[in-house]
Structure 1
Amino acid sequence: MSGREFFTTRTVAEALTGFRPAHRTPVEHVPLSAALHRVPAAAIPAPHDLPGFAKSTVDGFAVRAADTYGASEGLPSYLDLLGAVRMGTAPTVAVRAGGCVAMPTGGVLPEGADAVVMIEFTAETMPGTIEVTRPVAPGGGLVRANDDVTAGAPLVPGGRPLRAPELGLLAAAGVTSVPVHARPRVTIISTGDEVVPPETASLRPGQVRDATASALAGLILDAGGDPTIAGIVSDEPGALKNKLTEVLPHSDLVVVSAGSSVGARDETAGAVAAVGDVWCHGLAIKPGKPTLLAECSGVPVIGLPGNPLSALVVFGQIGIPLVWRLCGCATPPPRPNLRARLSRNLASAAGRLDVIQVRLADGVAEPLFGPSALLSVLTRADGYLLIPEPATGLDSGADVAVTLYT
């Protein structure tokens, strides 16, 4: 490092593709009840076929499909009722030519049958005789033993957060413990002589309560991380370096709130460079240019701007994908979004990603502006839109994608 300047400014796209620390959290086994949104360390194979037996998907009658060919309301097929299948038990009767067996939805398909005709297309014309008024093809009205999953095939892939349907599929296969990556331990360090804990009852002139750390902890929890607020470090030379040395062995990611600018007292870049390697200092993003990305002893470090809005915007773009990557997620899950019409012209600078907070009303996105020191801009926003690096702005009335806050 030389001087107080941004010396390796990168675009956000370059940061997302180029800043990829190899560190991953260790693997642990969790019960299925605690596995929602956790990331499997590897694909989990099916121990056996699912559902494991051929079963009916409708209420009706198990038949040989050939016995229903040509059936119609004017010329029905007539089949002998041979018995019935009970739920949860193996069939005690087989289907022969010209016969049928009564089936409940989910019942085991009896031997000899290759289809199930829906009860809506049947009638019992006399005791023991079933009239079929519509033909059924082989395989109709049923699922085969391995239609859901074949034994040995992946039940769920590795590297993708588990959703509710995957939990159900794992339960159906009898998998009750899942090997997942541990939640990333994310240490949040706040800096600045003017910053005081949130519980400070009375502020002296120039003091501010630490709002950013609590907000960052919320974002980290949402992304599946385990945040630890490590307190406030003074501007005294060497203090941040000492704090980094203390927390790095117990962290999967370290986030330094404030101190990454180029002011005379901003110590993050120097402290990080003293214990690791700086990947970039400066992102082509607004707000949030004075962002630092580094790797120290294999642990990624993010130095955020001091203004709360800038810090949270940058962490949303860079930090959240990194938290997911640390716990083995190949591609972070998409955030909900919708299309809206922009209410006014927006200017931008080519080569810079602009993140614009917006409020939504009747399909219209209204940009919200305010100093980066004001968190209220974020609290009033329903979401944000991006002006991509190549663009020089957006026109009023443009169709835009708004990423929603949830």
Structure 2
Amino acid sequence: MPGREFFQTQSVGQALAGFRPRRRTGPETVRREDALGRVPARAVRSGVPLPGFARSTVDGYAVRAADTYGAGDGLPAYLDVVGALRMGTAADVEVRSGGAVQIPTGAAVPGSADAVVMIEHTQVTMPGVIEVTRPVAVGDGVVRPDEDVAVGNELVPAGRPLRAQDLGLLAAAGITRLVVLRRPRVAIISTGDEVVAPDTECVSPGQVRDATASALAALVLQAGGEPASYGIVPDDLELLTKTLTTAVAECDLVVVSAGSSVGARDETTAAVEALGAPGVYCHGLAIKPGKPTLLAECADVPVIGLPGNPLSALVVFRMVGLPVLRLVGGITTVPPEPSTAATMARPVASAAGRLDVVQVSVRDGVATPLFGHSALLSLLTSADGYVVIPEPATGLDAGTSVTVTMYR
């Protein structure tokens, strides 16, 4: 890793491009039913064609297309109905020239037929005879046996979390188990003499309940990781070093909230350095909120030191922590975040060279910025999403078109 300088800020883009910890989770086999959101370790390919047989896409009659050529309202083609097919059975009726077989949507098409005419384009003229008022071409109304998936085709790629529709396709191909990457185990450590557990009934003046850890755990779960709480560590270098050592040995990513700013009581940097090479990658990001962020790698395990303010910590973890979590978990195709287009209700100032993340509420296509101190967690609960002002910009004017990343 490059040489380090204490609190020499990097842009978020530089940090994400340069901070590439080696840790990756290993493979495990899971049932298809348990695979939603899991990341395939390798592409899954089909051993069978889908749907596996020629099937009708409409209710109508299986025919030979040549028998309908030139058919119209004024001069219909007359065909003999030689049978009817049912769902879930083999197509054992032969369609000879001049004949037709009644067929429902989804039923197997006889091999002797090459098209299906819609029932709306037919009329029964007498028992056993229909007239066809529209011609069909070869293949009309029919799905080929391998039109959905051919043998050897990729069903799902490696590196993309599995969605509901992916599981449906795997089921159709008869895949019951698959190899996925293990969910990253993420250690969450809170620090500070003033921080107490959320279930503390009576909070003394100067104490605060730990709000950040619960929110971080939820973000980890949303991103496909497994949060592991390592509790609250007081401002004690020896205790923090011991906790970090255990977390690095047991987890794939370690997240420490508070203790990453430049202050006499902040111990995270010293504790991380004590864990050995390569150590701290950068200390300070050009982002608001969240400048005092630390990125490190210890024994191949990434360590992220977040600011103490809950809002800052959660913003930074979304922007930086989640990409690192996905990297460790083998996600190479990142699912898109829900977003919406809007216009800014009023101007927002920004400093060039810094990434600004602005919380907004959205109503009727208008994004209203929400301002307040980074210690105010209620800003996040009031926000519908956020707008990113890129480093080169010096702000946004009222009426500017923006993309709002929506909170789920």
Partner of 1:334: 336
Cα distance per residue 1:111-140 (max 9 Å; x no partner): 211111111101111111111100111111
Partner of 1:40: 40
* Most deviating of 114-123 and 275-284: 275-284
Task: Please state how far the C-alpha of 1:18 moved relative to its aligned partner.
Answer: 2.1
Q: Are 1:64 and 1:113, in contact at CA under 8 Å, matched by a contact in 2? A: yes
2:325 to 318, 323, 326: 323
User: How far has the Cα of 1:324 moved from its partner?
Assistant: 2.1
Alpha carbons 2:255, 2:303 under 8 Å: kept: yes
Q: How does 1:22-37 map to 2 (within 5 A)?
A: 22-37=22-37
What is the aligned partner in structure 2 of residue 59 from structure 1?
59
Paired amino acid for 2:246: E
**How many angstroms apart in 2 are the aligned matches of 1:3 and 1:147?**
56
What amino acid does structure 1 have at the position aligned with 2:152?
Answer: G
**Contact 2:237–2:270 (CA<8 Å) still a contact in 1?**
no
Residue 272 (structure 1) shift = 1.0
CA distance in 2, matches of 1:314, 1:171: 39
Give the letter aligned to residue 291 of structure 1. Answer: T
- The structure 1 residue matched to 2:392, chosen from 381, 390, 393, is 390
Relative distance call for 1:125 and 1:279 in structure 2 (3 A) is same
- Does residue 346 in structure 1 map to residue 334 in structure 2? no
Looking at structure 2, the residues matched to 336 and 53 of structure 1 have their Cα atoms a distance apart, in angstroms, of: 38
Alignment of 1:3-402 (within 5 A): 5-7=6-8, 9-275=9-275, 276=277, 277-402=279-404
How many residues end up aligned between the 2 structures? 405
Tell me the distance in 2 between the aligned counterparts of 1:68 and 1:21: 66
Normalised TM-score (structure 2)? 0.97
Q: CA deviation at 1:5?
A: 4.1
State the Cα deviation string for residues 326-384 of structure 1 (Å, max 9, x = none).
22110321110001110111111111110000011222111001111110111110100
CA distance in 1, matches of 2:383, 2:184: 28
Question: So what's the TM-score if we normalise by structure 1?
Answer: 0.97
Cα contact 1:325–1:332 (8 A) shared by 2: no
Matched, 1:403 2:405: yes
Distance in 2 of aligned mates of 1:252 and 1:331 = 20
Which secondary structure does the structure 2 equivalent of 1:238 belong to?
Answer: helix
Between 1:198-207 and 1:353-362, the stretch displaced more is 198-207
| Separation (CA, whole Å) in 2 of partners of 1:13 and 1:135 | 59
Runs of 5+ unmatched residues, structure 2: none
Post-superposition shift, 1:3?
12
Distance 1:70 1:16 in 2: 64
Secondary structure at the residue paired with 2:40? Answer: coil
Matches of 2:174 and 2:383, distance apart in 1: 44
Letter in structure 1 aligned against 2:46: A
1:25 match: secondary structure? coil
Aligned mates of 1:353, 1:178 — CA distance in 2: 40
Distance (whole Å) between structure 2 residues aligned to residue 322 and residue 393 of structure 1: 28
After TM superposition, give the deviation of residue 254 of structure 1 in Å: 0.3
Alignment partners' CA distance in 2, 1:111 and 1:371: 72
Letter paired with 1:180: V
The separation in 2 between residues aligned to 1:2 and 1:372, in whole angstroms, is 30
Equivalent pair of 1:248/1:254 in contact (CA under 8 Å): yes
Shift of 1:253: 0.5
Deviation of the 1:4 alpha carbon: 9.5
Using the alignment, how far apart are the partners of 2:26 and 2:38 within structure 1?
A: 13
More displaced, 255-264 or 92-101? 92-101
Partner amino acid, structure 2, of 1:239 = L
Contact 1:4 1:262 in 2 (8 A): no
Q: State which drifts further: 285-294 or 268-277.
A: 268-277
Aligned AA (1:365): A
Secondary structure of 2:359's match?
Answer: strand
Aligned residues of 1:16 and 1:318 also touching (Cα < 8 A): yes
User: Which AA in structure 2 matches 1:29?
Assistant: T
Report if the CA contact (8 A) 1:4-1:263 is conserved. no
Identity %: 64
Q: Which runs of 5+ in 1 are unaligned?
A: none
